[in-house]
Amino acid sequence: MKIGISCYPTHGGSGVVATELGLELARRGHHVHFMCYNRPFRLERLQPNVYYHRVQVNEYPLFKYPPYSLALATAILDVTRREDLDLIHAHYAIPHSVSAWMAREMLQDRDLPIVTTLHGTDITLVGQEPSYEEITCFALRASNALTAVSEDLARATRETFCQDLVIDTIYNFVDTEIYRPERDPGLRARFAGEDEFLLAHASNFRPVKRTLDVIRIFARVARECPARLVLMGLGPDRHACEELARELGLEERVHFLDNQGSIRDLLRVADLFLLPSETESFGLVALEAMACGVPVIASEVGGLRELIDSGRNSWLCPRGDTEAFAGRAVRLFKDSTHYREISEAARQTAIERFTPQTIVPQYEAVYRRVIEQKSS
Ligand code: GMT
């Protein structure tokens, strides 16, 4: 198939899933055309069957807000005509599926099936804002197929927009050959001593991630165990986290790193991953940590409940209950047998349920369905 993908190229789950999916589809022989305002950050090198089309957004003094959605629609139209695309896969509803619909309307001589994947905040936060709600609902209805990254997100979408929306759940995935336990002792030594536990967190530091909770949880853990914390990523709450770490006298024990091209090596040297989010439609980073054999303690919210079987392959705690998170971490560190069991079960979950081999064919089946429906 010739597949167009539009997504956010920045560090964030939806862009990562879109990019990894595109790369996997290309390995399976499909031709994949990415359309974004920048090269997606995990698309460092182009591989056979992968093409990148930069969406050019021209600045003009009249435009306080350059109309990216229009430029994207034009790019989709142009690439569809030139490359004879079979379909367009929009990742994150706003504005990608709206632009795809515009392109389809402009194509006069042929049709263009649209598959929209809902990733989370496009429905749970942004999509519910008054200025976007109607158009998000419209774009969902205009799509030929909708997928959501968890049952929970599919349910929330139907509740928010319309009960009769048909949505396939297709979970996030991870390449367990690449994300596997393998420690680089030199890298670990940069962050923690041999007798210390290393906790990790990675995100875009948006309020929805509750990153201040990460610092509070760590402060409580560090009172009971020798421990260090590494935080990866940039975003609005990053500065407040640095301040809080200083106020709590933890600056020597907490390492702040900027966005990483690959977080894999850092995940592998951690002993525990913290994800105390307000909401999380799936929690891709939790899955990546689990694939590396790193247990996760996460909020009992959203799609995390479909990934984590609490007490078996990682742990869920009530959102905002930093005491519960910290208590769980300390108990895990003090029981090495239980720690090993959880670590192995975490990796096993990734292998059994969330590999590209299991997940990517589900997207291919959706593509075939929409193409067949269109041609009949
Ligand atoms: O976590 C974010 O805010 C980034 C966001 C995105 O769209 O880039 O991630 C969402 O999509 C990921 C991939 O499907 C999911 O694993 C994340 O759980 C989801 N984030 C939230 O729901 C907050």
Q: Which helix (H) or strand (E) holds 138?
A: helix 130-142
Can you give the pLDDT at residue 46?
Answer: 73
What gap in Å lies between CA 288 and CA 290, rounded to an integer? Answer: 5
Cβ 171 under 6 angstroms from ligand 1: no
Instruction: Give the per-residue pLDDT at 259.
Output: 82
Q: What is the pTM of this model?
A: 0.95
Ligand 1 pocket, residue 304 CB under 6 Å? no
* Tokens linked to 343: 């670590």
Helices H, strands E: what count in the chain?
A: 15, 13
pLDDT tens profile 79-95: 999 999 999 999 998 89
Look at residue 161 in the predicted model and tell me its pLDDT.
87
> 145-177, pLDDT tens digit by residue?
999 999 999 999 999 988 899 999 999 999 999
CA nearest 192: which of 270, 286, 292, 249?
Answer: 270
Centroid of chain to Cα 359: 15
Ligand 1 centroid from CA 121, angstroms: 7
pLDDT in tens, 129-142: 888 999 999 999 99
Residue of 282, 306, 308 with the most ligand 1 atoms within 8 Å of its CB, for mutation = 282
DSSP string, 255-292: EEE---S--HHHHHT-SEEEE--S--SS-HHHHHHHHT
pLDDT at 185 over 80: yes
DSSP letters spanning 87-127: EEEEESHHHHHHHHHHHHHH--SS---EEEEE-SHHHHTGG
Distance from the alpha carbon of residue 173 to the mean position of ligand 1, in angstroms: 13
End-to-end CA distance of the chain: 17
For the chain, helix, strand, coil in percent to 5 are: 45, 15, 35
Three-class SS state of 374: helix
CB 278 within 8 A of CB 269: no
| Packed helices 13-27 and 356-375: angle between N→C axes, nearest 10 degrees | 80
Q: Is 280 in the pocket of ligand 1 (CB under 6 A)?
A: yes
**Cα distances (Å, whole numbers) of residue 168 to 48, 117, 147:** 29, 9, 5
Each residue's pLDDT tens digit, 17-48: 999 999 999 999 999 999 999 999 888 777 89
What is the three-state SS of 13-32?
Answer: HHHHHHHHHHHHHHHCCCEE
Going by CA atoms, what residue is nearest to atom 9 of ligand 1?
13
Q: How many CB atoms lie within 10 A of CB 243?
A: 12
Domains of the chain in sequence order: 2-173+355-375 (3.40.50.2000), 185-353 (3.40.50.2000)
Tokens of 271: 């002993």
